[in-house]
Amino acid sequence: MRLLVTGGGTGGHIYPALAVAGELLRRGGEVLYVGTSKGLESDIVPREGIPFKTIPVRGLLNKSPGQAGVGVFVAALGVLEAARIIRHFRPDVVLGTGGYVSGPVVLAARLLSVPYFLQEQNVLPGATNRLMSRWARGVFVPYTECARYFPRQARLHVTGNPIRAGILGEKRDDASRALGLSPFMKTVLVLGGSRGAKTIVDASCEIAKELLKRSNAQMILVTGSRYYDQVTEEFAREGLSGERVRVFAYLYDMGKALAASDLVVCRAGAMTIAEVTAAGLPSVLIPSPNVAGNHQEYNARLLVSEGAAVMILDKEAEGRRVAGKVLQILFDEERLSSMRNAASALGRPYAAKRIVEVMTKAARRK
């Protein structure tokens, strides 16, 4: 099968596309990725060795009339360029995972009568996916609850979010020792994200203080590059550095961190949640308030309703409160086990395989 995949702007759109592309490549298919020259995809995708083309595109939402007019013109140019790429590559199907670049590409596919699919990562779908779902051959969504936000005629497939290869399969003992930790202690993973989340980073010091009061607890902290120096200096000043606290600016092997952990403190981004639930881990979620449509809070509320997580709003996430919630869960074996089971029930570790299977059937019918 020949797949043209598009999605960009943020890792939340790029990594699902790469997960599906990787699964198809392992099956002997061909993939072309279409993105923009300025988005994160222009750096990430070529590093994966996947052929990459760009089109011009600009955002249209929340713009002044003048900016929106320019955006429409650029989007039209993007559709024309996407159509040229599609004619040349001749894909069997097109997959859009969201972001500004996805709209012109899937629109070009529709105009050229090439079957296209959409993949939505969040409970509350983005504007592009809501609009284009009316004519899509199928829409891959993470949860059944997404259906209420799509048009009735949208053909939904509940597959979960496709996660990166290698994120699962690590053994706790090996993963803990690789990170310099004990496999026998309670372990909390605190994720500030690749760019850093100030609220979570600010709370990390209080979490570390409380955990180090216990003889059987330890912490992995990923600060993001923006806050690494600040945090390491603060931890050293507070006497929190040591063998029971591991601080990283960025952690490339997230699979080891998940395998070594009992509880995760993180934002409620769709792909973070997908990896955490696939690993069967309870979580304390602090949704980012700075995202379109407040979609992280929708994601978090779903996990809370299923018993897999607790949520603390960003404006209420003072360090001591977050630390207190961590301790309540971490040392309550019954609650920890219940949340672990609920997270595992929500996790979809084989989403990429399912998505490729559905698209392959559509390609064969074509």
- Torsion over CA: 81, 79, 140, 1 (sign): negative
Report yes or no: 275 and 186 within 8 Å, Cβ to Cβ: no
Domain locations in the chain as residue ranges: 2-163+349-365, 172-346
Can you spell out the DSSP letters for 28-91? T-EEEEEE-SSSTHHHHHHHTT--EEE------TT--HHHHHHHHHHHHHHHHHHHHHHHHH--
CATH class of the domain defined by 2-163+349-365:
alpha beta
**Per residue in 230-269, is it b (16+ CB within 10 Å) or e — as a string?**
ebbebbeeeebeeebbbbebebeebbbbbbbbbbbbbbbb
What gap in Å lies between CA 142 and CA 156, rounded to an integer? 10
Find out if CATH 2.130.10.10 is the number for domain 172-346. Answer: no
For residue 219, list its beta bridge partners.
188, 245
* Mean pLDDT value across residues 75-103: 95
Q: pTM of this prediction?
A: 0.88
pLDDT band at residue 63 using 50, 70 and 90 as cut-offs: low
What gap in Å lies between CA 172 and CA 168, rounded to an integer? 11
Residue 346 has pLDDT above 90, yes or no: yes
Strands (E), 146-267: 156-158, 186-191, 217-222, 245-248, 263-266
Report yes or no: 236 and 206 within 8 Å, Cβ to Cβ: no
Residue 218 has what DSSP assignment?
E
Is there a shared CATH topology between the 2-163+349-365 domain and the 172-346 domain?
yes
What is the H or E stretch that residue 231 is in?
helix 228-237
What gap in Å lies between CA 182 and CA 217, rounded to an integer? 9
Question: Phi then psi for 294, rounded to 5 degrees?
Answer: 55, 35
pLDDT at residue 366 in the model: 66
What gap in Å lies between CA 203 and CA 251, rounded to an integer? 19
Q: Percent of the chain, pLDDT > 70?
A: 96
pLDDT tens string 204-227: 999 999 999 999 999 999 998 889
Question: Phi then psi for 238, rounded to 5 degrees?
Answer: -90, 0
What gap in Å lies between CA 271 and CA 16, rounded to an integer? 8
* Mean pLDDT value across residues 229-248: 90
- Highest mean pLDDT out of 22-36, 121-135, 194-208: 22-36
